[in-house]
A and B are shown apart, each in its own frame.
Chain A
Amino acid sequence: MPGRFVVIWFRFLEADRVVRRQPGMKDVPFALVLPQHGRMVVKAVNAVAYKHGVRAGMVVADCRAILPSLQVLDHDDDLVAKTLHAMGEWCIRYTPVVATDEPDGLILDISGCAHLWGGEGPYLKEILSRLRAFGYHACAGMADTVGAAWAMAHYVPGDVIVETGRLTEALMPLPPDALRLPANVLSKLHKLGLHDVRSFMTMPRRALARRFGEVLLMRLDQALGQAIEPICPIKPIVPHQVRKPCMDPVRTAAGIEHVLSNMLEELCRRLANEDAGLRYCVLTCYRVDRDVQQVKIGTSRPSRDVAHLYKLFEQEISNIEPDLGIELFLMEATIVEALSPEQEALWNTRANTDKELSELIDRVAGKVGGDTIRRYLPDEHYWPERSVRVADGLSEKPVTIWRKDIPRPVCLLPVPEVIDVTVPIPDYPPMLFRYKGELHQVVKADGPERIEQEWWIADGLQRDYYCVEDEKGSRFWLFRSGHYGTTEPRWFIHGFFA
């Protein structure tokens, strides 16, 4: 089946990308370089530098000799690939089948598309003028085969459209490089004086195959449309989104609830097919008067349970003001994570425990805020404030044991409070202390336990902790901050023992 292809070549893809972000670089000659075997090698240049003779593959020192004002930036392969992919996705507006041609081209299968833009000429012009308006140096070729279109884009100046059935004539005057041949084949061809396609096109196939390998024949056939060349189209990621336009504006809570459960069912069905669950979901309501209302929910674990997600949204419904009515609902799962049917068990107390627990956490987080829910894990520090740390979510397990061998109070004040004491010096626990206006007489005491400040974390004085018991039997954790010496150390209360 005859097809029709456009190949777009971005001559200075990476440099154009830089200029788009930093418009000031437009008239500055610059090169994008990468260290290679201890030298800085140019990977890409911009148009200005190209005009002065700087080419990819040169060493930066040589380029500086040619053009002292050359600026040097870092080259990034991934970024180029990402840019190209993004351009490919953008081109899907012109044809459903777009493939990337690494490292700097796009292949568009335009069979049956051009007439929508009023013919091939206006179609190609439209694409190129848009791309050039973005600031990219784009060259294009249109032909019946990918190979021919590639050759036109790269080796014929101007935007060439090769009419159907005129491939051979178009290819004949081009150099063999236009056939996308490996370097060793090309050098062999040039050595033999075969400087254009015309010179070897009519040679016997067996002779060509013997001298230059099958690859030359394959490329020639692909360019002439005698062999099929597969392309790998870009598949854009479809966002996890559900739209619900309403014939009549929805104004009541009951109506919103109904729409909500329908949308959740649809979304969860899709998530179930993909073995995924959502972590964050946004419901946007477009009102008749163009106002936009938004509610968001988050879950502590990926979920695709309609009932649970509905419950989370239910808490938020009262925040939506329908006013004159909502005409469009848009639900989007902005964060989606894999959720296998047999999710790793967290704590096996009963079947379904994990799910029930994380659903409870989600409900509470939705109402009072996720930052109020904490789980603690042991941390290897003696300093009391640092000996626990907040765990990341529900499934993190402790890597060290909880210390039981040192006395630690049941209640710990978040910040130690200053107390007035009567104390024998230098190293005794207090005899009396006053805390919140109440006098406590110390009857028994244990200690001291000295805890040094960790100098690599913070500055400060060491603490000498004493466990004391007053005449009523209440037990306290007191400490003296610092030594007796030049300054008077202060006493603090830090906790209460059971």
Chain B
Amino acid sequence: MEPLLKKEDIVKALQKEVLSMQRGGAVALNDQSATGLGAIEEAFPGKEFPRAAVHEFISYDMGAAAATNGFMMGVAGKLMPASGVCVWVGAKRTVYPVALAQFGIAPDKVIFIDPPRKKDVLWTIEEALKCEALQLVVGEVGELSFMESRRLQLAVERSSVTGFIHRKNPRTENTVACVSRWKITPETSIADDGMPGLGMPRWHVQLQKVRNGKPGSWVLEWRNGTLCYVPKTIIALPEVHTRKTG
């Protein structure tokens, strides 16, 4: 038995080494990670959220875009230390800075850049991703070609900044060089104790692609400043609208 165990250890060590090489040498931040993402982290190689990487988010309507923004803010709030600085780039940005505070990011630590042209948006995202002083760069684009995404990935491999690319209404879901592809849609919320009205923000989070990991889908709720899992059984059907006119 003794030699067998040793072999397993060797394999694990080698896997870790390969992983770190694939990340372009970026150090794994396992101890500090504490992203509070729980089961989602299981989906990633090494069970940790990849930081020095570009993540792709796709949304098709305004509701989904808002949900995606909410989820990105929630994850960003966990990834960024209190003093971290974030850059938010987008041509037609609608993000309301006040809402960032609810997701654990100080809105005054976010620099919004709104270049008028699409070409400049990508240039700005790339420049921001190269800047080591930043923790996170969020870019809102429509189309993203493989070559463009490759440039962004190369930029983060050197600077180890986390990049979130939010693609709104893309024409095709083409292959890109991002480490993961997320799709977040809003889920019917349920108020506490059967009260009427809206509950906490609830999303259906799909991790459609992830490099070296296991894709999956979850229902998450933003509650008391953390992401909570909603077991499948409690997800009730939408209640029927019963109010009468007058």
Contact = CB atoms under 8 A, between A and B. Distances in A.
Contact of A413 (B63, B73, B94, B131): B94
Given A357-B131, A372-B114, A424-B246, A414 B94 contact: yes
A303 to B, nearest CB: 15
A413 B186 CA distance: 19
B106 A368 contact: no
Interface string A425-448: 100100100000000011111100
Interface string A451-479: 00000000000000001111111111000
A87 to B, nearest CB: 48
Contacts of B101: 402-404
A65 interface: no
Interface in B41-69: 61-67, 69
Interface stretch (B9-17, B144-152, B193-201): B193-201
Given A363-B127, A403-B98, A424-B243, A353 B85 contact: yes
B167 interface: no
A236 interface: no
The dominant DSSP class at the A interface is: mixed
B75 interface: no
A348 to B, nearest CB: 6
Q: How large is the interface on A (under 10, 10 to 19, 20 to 34, 35 or more residues)?
A: 35 or more
Interface stretch (B18-26, B32-40, B132-140): B132-140
Nearest to B80: A349
Contact of A445 (B61, B114, B128, B198): B198
B83 interface: yes
Contacts of A497: 66, 70, 198, 201
Interface of A: 347-350, 352-354, 356-357, 359-361, 363-364, 367-368, 372-378, 384, 387-388, 391, 394, 397-398, 402-404, 408-414, 424-425, 428, 431, 441-446, 467-476, 495-498
Given A348-B83, A357-B85, A376 B107 contact: yes
A350 B73 CA distance: 22
Given A349-B81, A360-B87, A408-B102, 17 more contacts: A359-B131, A360-B128, A368-B123, A376-B110, A394-B111, A402-B106, A402-B107, A409-B66, A413-B94, A445-B198, A446-B197, A472-B188, A474-B62, A498-B66, A498-B99, A498-B201, A498-B222
B128 A496 contact: no
B186 A473 contact: yes
B239 interface: yes
B229 interface: no
A403 B101 CA distance: 7
Given A428-B243, A496-B63, A444 B134 contact: no
Interface in B170-222: 185-189, 191, 196-198, 201-203, 222
A443 B85 contact: no
A387 B191 CA distance: 28
A410 B65 CA distance: 10
16 contacts: A354-B133, A360-B133, A368-B116, A374-B111, A378-B98, A384-B96, A394-B111, A410-B70, A411-B95, A411-B96, A413-B94, A443-B239, A472-B63, A473-B189, A475-B189, A498-B71
A411 B94 contact: yes
A442 B238 CA distance: 11
Contacts of B108: 375-378, 391, 397-398, 402
Interface string B217-246: 000001000000000000000110101111
A496 B66 contact: yes
